[in-house]
Amino acid sequence: MKRGEILLWGAAALAAAAGLAWGTAKFAFDGLLQASLPPERRGVAFTRSETLFQLAWVLGAIIPVTIAVDARVGLAVAGCAALAAQTTFVAGLLGRRAEEARP
């Protein structure tokens, strides 16, 4: 297998994992909004969250269109961003559990 093919398969795997994670997180967030907000505030909350999600997608699409980078560099940056997001998430969970465990 050529180096370019490996890069392409890596990019496809990263895109699939990001799409799956986003879809799962979206359902979880929607459920959280429904469970934690009174009915009269749900419409505003859903509208705001959907607007922010769509703006994030647009920003995420504008960056690679406006800035030409090598595929390897782009994948390395995407991987580092994913690692940073995961690390931040896990650190937040551990911090929250530590606060709950305090007497």
Spans of all domains in the chain: 1-68, 70-103
Q: Supply the pTM of this predicted model.
A: 0.56
The pLDDT tens digits for 3-25 are: 778 888 888 888 898 889 888 98
Q: In the chain, pLDDT over 70 holds for what percent of residues?
A: 100
Q: What is the pLDDT of residue 55?
A: 92
Sign of CA dihedral 61, 63, 66, 67: negative
91-100 pLDDT tens trace: 888 887 777 7
Burial class (CB in 10 A: 0-12, 13-18, 19+), 42: middle
Residues 6+ apart with CB under 8 A from 44: none
Q: For 37-84, what is each residue's pLDDT tens digit?
A: 898 998 898 899 889 888 988 988 898 789 888 878 888 888 898 889
